[in-house]
A and B are shown apart, each in its own frame.
Chain A
Amino acid sequence: MAYKVDHEYDYLFKIVLIGDSGVGKSNILSRFTRNEFCLESKSTIGVEFATRTLQVEGKTVKAQIWDTAGQERYRAITSAYYRGAVGALLVYDITKRQTFDNVLRWLRELRDHADSNIVIMMAGNKSDLNHLRAVPGEDAQLLAEKEGLSFLETSALEAFNVENAFQTILLDIYHIISKKALAAQEAVSTTGLHGTTINVANLSGDMNKRNCCSN
């Protein structure tokens, strides 16, 4: 994608929201990007986007977040949705067991369609509804460890941990990127990376090429 470089940010990271219908993806998005929450929100049809620019370790990072209908397994837009995504927030609803059981299906979808280096955070949303809890935090913690995911419980309604969840994803991505950027810098020339959009897919491509040539 040929995004015009604007000098308002150092990095542009695409993050996708996934998870079953009704778990609160759109409200997590609006909480993070506009600090809004809507109890009477409609189901998402098609794709929606929002961005927010924030600081990560002194760098200006623009997070471009994609949101889609939870039910879209048959997606007409699957490949475009995951293309270039460097992070994923996989959301389930702590009051609905089935949305947690489906986490594995979403992980499979990520494996099938997203870049293998994608940073994944699992979020147990609606933590404000603790009295209706159907998924114990320990179960989720176990699954997260087993699958190598970060994990937080969030509440878009109470603005609890939403910021934290995205900050964690962005920091993880930033660390991976800067490590790879360093390696790539050594390998390729010393063209400045400042102000350039970087995504994991391209970098890992470069890395592979380098490995290939050096072998």
Chain B
Amino acid sequence: MAPAPIESTLPESSSASSPYVPERSEAENRRFKDLRSVQWRINLGILPSSSSSSSIDDLRRVTADSRRRYAGLRRRLLVDPHPKKDGSSSPDLSIDNPLSQNPDSTWGRFFRNAELEKMVDQDLSRLYPEHGSYFQTPGCQGMLRRILLLWCLRHPRCGYRQGMHELLAPLLYVLHFDVEHLSQFKNSPDSMENENGSHGNAFKLKSLDELDPEIQTIVMLSDAYGAEGELGIILSEKFMEHDAYCMFDALMSGAHGSVSMAEFFSPSPAVGSHTSLPPVIEASAALYYLLSLVDSSLHSHLVELGVEPQYFALRWLRVLFGREFSLADLLIIGMKFCIDNSKLDKGSEDDAASSFGILSSPRGAFIQPWQFNVTLFEIFPSCH
């Protein structure tokens, strides 16, 4: 489901609160509700929380810094073995040649990266093949490839595991979606007509303060002349790759108190685990326990059949329900388990329950606790 379109017409004094007076408190907390890519970056701890009275400039500065870090990583880790034409660096050809056996040589690293790339491509070529329009475009494939490659090079002990590509895809998608959405809004000739009654440049208003707060925010987020200039534009097509990497890294490492997704790909027990089971198996077991409480007959039936929870939960957990829901539904529900660790607002809860009956069914009730926090470990401290 698409996020609600950005309203371009002003409400005619129909609501009790004037749209000109920004409501702090709750409205402030959810000021990026319709800009999922911004909200997720806040929830993942990449951007400062909107409740901590951070200004747009703060957001822009943090954004710019995270992009600088990614750019540095890319310069450092993606290898171009060909010596520079300008002769600025003269490689030691006894080490840096394509036949070199030295694993640390530029060519050695280049070939290792190429191996990794081949493995990643094996999955990327099969990523949402039915959505060919976006995920299968060369531009998108290139971004996904570089992000996964860099993340794996940064985390050599974890490396690339099948499924990581499907965790990354929705992150890039929300960025893409918002950027597209914003550009449509900006290019629409009459997007501001109603507000200022002129056909002139929409952004040449007498005062920005006259605008709807939501639109104000969007204008300031995408202004190339704000703090950090172009690098600080929060929704920027140019830096989608940088932003998606930061989101993926946060999701994998479990920043901001959420579950570390990387652990679900690890064969060894998590630090501090009492069960000495791999995390994904531990979480599967917790899920079975949850099921036994909610639907004991189904639980005992499955146990009797010899169905171990990881037969199905492995996939649920590794790609966060990416295979159980369509991409559009996944953005609303699936990623909420992990990313939206803030409480759901009532509106979207109703929304979710009506768009798929699963949450109102007794079976669905057992994934309900996940809505607020996917940390099964928190729900069941005994399993931790």
Contact = CB atoms under 8 A, between A and B. Distances in A.
B: contact size bracket: 20 to 34
A80 B308 contact: yes
Interface of A: 1-4, 21-22, 40-47, 49, 69-72, 74-77, 80
A201 to B, nearest CB: 14
B306 A2 contact: yes
Given A21-B123, A69-B162, A71-B162, A42 B129 contact: yes
B16 interface: no
A75 B311 CA distance: 12
Given A43-B123, A43-B162, A77 B311 contact: yes
Nearest to B128: A42
30 contacts: A2-B304, A2-B306, A3-B305, A21-B119, A21-B123, A21-B162, A22-B122, A40-B126, A40-B129, A42-B126, A42-B127, A42-B128, A42-B129, A42-B323, A43-B123, A43-B126, A43-B162, A45-B162, A45-B314, A46-B314, A47-B311, A47-B314, A49-B311, A69-B162, A71-B119, A74-B267, A76-B278, A76-B310, A77-B308, A80-B311
Given A76-B278, A77-B310, 4 more contacts: A22-B122, A45-B162, A46-B312, A70-B162
B156 to A, nearest CB: 14
A45 B129 contact: no
A72 B310 contact: no
Contacts of B304: 2, 4
B129 A71 contact: no
B221 to A, nearest CB: 34
A100 to B, nearest CB: 16
B306 A45 contact: no
A72 B162 contact: yes
Nearest to A47: B311
B315 interface: yes
Interface string B124-139: 0011111010000000
A46 B311 contact: yes
Nearest to A20: B122
Contacts of A71: 119, 161-162
Contacts of A42: 126-129, 323
B122 A46 contact: no
B333 interface: no
B41 interface: no
A33 B224 CA distance: 57
Contacts of B132: 40
A46 B321 CA distance: 12
A77 B267 CA distance: 10
B305 A46 contact: no
A4 B128 CA distance: 38
